[in-house]
Amino acid sequence: MSGRGAGLLVVLLAACTGDPADGVRGPNLRVVVVTHGQSADPFWSIVSNGAHAAGEDLGIDVEYQAPLSFDMVEMANLIEAAAASRPDGLVVSIPDPAALGGAIRAAVGAGIPVVSTNSGDDAWARLGAIAHVGQPEYEAGVAAGERLSGSGVTRALCVNHEVGNAALDRRCAGLRAGLAASGGTVEVLAVDLADPDAARERIAGALAARPETDGVLALGPAGAAPALAAVRGIDAARRPALATFDLSPEVLRAVESGEIAFAVDQQPFLQGYLPVVLLAAHARAGVAPGGGGVVATGPGFVTRENAAAVIELSAEGLR
Amino acid sequence: MWLVFAAIAGPAFRSADGTAAVLNAAAPLGILAVTVALLMIAGEFDLSVGSVIGFAGMAMMLLVSHFGWPLWPAVGATLVISAGIGLANGWLVVRTRLPSFIVTLGSLFVFRGLTVALSRGLTGRTQIGELEEAAGYEAARVVFAADLGPFRISVLWWLAVAAVGAWILSRTRAGNWIQATGGSAKAAREAGVPVERVKVGLFVTTALAAGLVAVIQAVRFTGADALRGELQEFRAIAAAVIGGTLLTGGYGSALGAALGALVFGLVQQGIVITGVDADWFQVFLGVVLLAAALFNDRVRRRGLASA
């Protein structure tokens, strides 16, 4: 490595950490959060805001890490690096227990308390985490399916913007079960959230190919925006009902105007905030939640009635 | 660079766990980068290695969990499939005389798409796990995913591939052919170098390395998903360039590429260990890449001037 490169790194490191020394080993507790959230997805900014807010409220250091793309190998590496820095607590999302299990078990084995968040409700206990914070995904999918079927949907499209994420697969499976009760069926469509234009084209194409589709469920705002654009292109009389998981300013505006029937709210702020609080409590008092150890943050529903109240908070990155 | 992170992160970075976190992350990229460097020295690119990792890993998982194969034959078949993709890439490049950048960009899309389409078509899922249930898993784990203290055995694979790559390049006739092919294919051909065979062989090598990484990662993480290996093609090229390989061919080093992967691991993991948000990783990486390219260029000019 060149001397000049090293010099630049020093400058950059100093520039973005302020005083690096106290970020690493202060007298305070230090919690590292490693999630699979992609930077283009507004959802994960709220989780990050929640984690940092908890850090400020409690006066402890919180660091938030995520791989650049949905990449489990990279995420396992991040967990390993975070564990090597010996934090007082580690928060992880577990979208793929098989891929991340080894790194999480190693962190637990090294004596680092772990709380899983967002995804991992099927794996956290056997990997040695002390609690899980999040929305049970299958049940949330069922609830969304029942709500859609209640409004008359029988042929639904499930838009998956994060192929490979088992939690999203469970939402689609839940949707299928929720609709099956009334005889409805579900098609799954994969889209690339890094390219909203291509995603819109794909959704529009799928709707044109199957004109009998009367409901679309997006699995997050990154899928809801292109789905909304695609649905708008269909004439109002034959337009399928649109619903989505998770909130964003755009989703909320569409819920308020009635273009999106409802949004399933898993309250990401709590998914960042609560794990930090739980780990701080565990570090200080050795306590952990009982009752199965799962702290459910959803599903709640945002509909036309309560959308306005949520909009203000969403603009601040809190909902 | 190590010193920079070591100074900022303190004992956490210098510890065995910290060192392991860096080397473990660098190992798969190192395996790729060495073979990609050899190909680049011969004047060609392989942009499909990332997709081949995804495709090969998924192929292995499908053979085991969908078709019920024991693990070892599946590993063999996975490497044969990978080599086949490399052969196809090489054959297309040599036959059509299209730039390898375009040919392998095509296979990048084809094999990523096939990975998603085949896995969802056959199993309805894009993530297949539970490889640990397969016959022969224990033995495969020893070879591909054993833990040596905090270190993964893939670090040894990385060292072995780097050593073999360096030996071929500097000590064998094949090595001379590779450099001659990249220097000037026309002159090499006139000197009797089998340019086409060299290129096809190197495409097979990069694809095999991708297959090996796929097997290592599938065994280690007991499964595969459809996005494995994404962007690894550019990381491998970046590691090769950081290690002194010329984009224009004809010049480069296998050991340099292995070290380039180490720099990658240092930046990626060092950032997390020092407590900087990983959001900054790409910024650092880009700066390091540019600095290394400038530095290499300067050194080479000086070398040429004094020769």
Cβ separation of A84 and B228 shorter than 8 Å? no
Closest CA to B243 of B71, B65, B34: B34
Pairing of strands A262-265, A215-218: unpaired
Cβ separation of B275 and A85 shorter than 8 Å? yes
pLDDT of res. B306: 67
- Greater confidence, B289 or B77? B77
pLDDT at A196 over 50: yes
Average the pLDDT over each of A112-121, A276-285, A299-308, B122-131 and give the range with the smallest value. Answer: B122-131
Q: How far is B279 from chain A (nearest CA, A)?
A: 7
Cβ separation of B221 and A163 shorter than 8 Å? no
Angle, helices B173-183 vs B195-220, to 10°: value is 110
Average pLDDT over residues B228-239: 93
Average pLDDT over residues B280-286: 86
* Confidence band, pLDDT 50/70/90 cuts, at residue A219: very high
pLDDT of res. A160: 94
pLDDT of res. B6: 67
Whole-number Cα distances in Å, B178 to A63, B33, B249: 46, 16, 10
Task: Write the DSSP symbol of residue A187.
Answer: E
Exposed / middle / buried, residue B267 (Cβ in 10 Å: 0-12, 13-18, 19+) = buried
Q: Considering just the CA atoms, what is the radius of gyration of chain A in Å?
A: 21
- What's the sign of the alpha-carbon dihedral B144, B148, B150, B154? negative
- Count H helices and E strands in chain A, helices first: 12, 12
Q: Which of A12, A61, A163, A195 to mutate to test the interface with B (most CBs of B within 10 A)?
A: A163
Residue of A nearest to B239 (CA): A1
Closest CA to B299 of B243, B237, B249, B261: B243
pLDDT of res. B5: 67
pLDDT tens track for A15-60: 444 443 343 333 589 999 999 988 777 789 999 999 999 999 999 9
pLDDT tens track for B171-223: 999 999 999 999 999 999 999 999 999 999 999 999 999 999 999 999 999 89
Instruction: Please answer whether residues A87 and A110 qualify as being in contact, where contact means their C-beta atoms are separated by less than 8 angstroms.
Output: no
pLDDT of res. A285: 92
**Which amino acid, residue A129?**
A
pLDDT at B55 over 90: yes
d(Cα A219, Cα A169) in Å, to the nearest integer? 10
- Greater confidence, B177 or B6? B177
pLDDT at B279 over 80: no
Task: Write the DSSP symbol of residue A155.
Answer: E
Cβ separation of A6 and B228 shorter than 8 Å? no
Residue B306: both structure tokens together? 């004094």
pLDDT of res. A16: 43
A73 → closest Cβ in B221, B275, B277: B221
Chain A residues closer than 8 Å to B284 by CB: 9, 12
pLDDT of res. A9: 47
Average the pLDDT over each of B70-84, B167-181, B242-256 and give the range with the smallest value. Answer: B242-256
User: Quick count: other Cβ atoms within 10 Å of Cβ A25?
Assistant: 16
Residue of B nearest to A12 (CA): B284
pLDDT at A74 over 80: yes
pLDDT at A136 over 90: no
pLDDT at B291 over 50: yes
pLDDT tens track for A142-193: 999 999 999 999 999 999 998 877 789 999 999 999 999 889 999 999 998 7
d(Cα A116, Cα A37) in Å, to the nearest integer? 14
Average pLDDT over residues A195-202: 90
pLDDT of res. B191: 93
Cβ separation of B269 and A102 shorter than 8 Å? no
pLDDT at A5 over 70: no
pLDDT of res. B4: 67
How many alpha carbons lie under 13 Å from residue A78 in its C-beta half-sphere? 32
pLDDT at B144 over 90: yes
Give the contacts of A150 (CB within 8 A, at least 6 positions apart): none
Closest CA to B58 of B34, B22, B92, B82: B82
pLDDT tens track for A262-307: 999 999 999 999 999 999 999 999 999 988 889 999 898 999 999 9
pLDDT of res. A98: 85
Under DSSP, is residue A263 helix (H, G, I), strand (E, B) or coil? strand
Cβ separation of B294 and A1 shorter than 8 Å? no
B283 → closest Cβ in A4, A12, A80: A12
* Confidence band, pLDDT 50/70/90 cuts, at residue B96: very high
pLDDT of res. A42: 77
B231 → closest Cβ in A5, A69, A190: A69
d(Cα A170, Cα A245) in Å, to the nearest integer? 13
pLDDT of res. A20: 39
pLDDT of res. A10: 46
Mean pLDDT, all residues of chain A: 88
Instruction: Please answer whether residues A5 and B287 qualify as being in contact, where contact means their C-beta atoms are separated by less than 8 angstroms.
Output: yes
Average pLDDT over residues B93-105: 96
Average pLDDT over residues A86-109: 94
Instruction: Please answer whether residues B208 and B82 qualify as being in contact, where contact means their C-beta atoms are separated by less than 8 angstroms.
Output: yes
Chain A residues closer than 8 Å to B53 by CB: none
pLDDT of res. B209: 98
pLDDT of res. B238: 94
Mean pLDDT, all residues of chain B: 91
Closest CA to A80 of B278, B215, B51: B278
pLDDT of res. A18: 40
Residue B181: both structure tokens together? 């092919």
- Percent of chain A scoring above 90 in pLDDT: 67
pTM: 0.79
A78 → closest Cβ in B18, B20, B278: B278
Task: Write the DSSP symbol of residue A151.
Answer: T
Give the contacts of B172 (CB within 8 A, at least 6 positions apart): none
First and final C-alpha spacing in chain A: 44
* Confidence band, pLDDT 50/70/90 cuts, at residue B30: very high
- Percent of chain A scoring above 70 in pLDDT: 92
List A296's β-bridge partners, or say none: A134
User: Quick count: other Cβ atoms within 10 Å of Cβ B159?
Assistant: 15
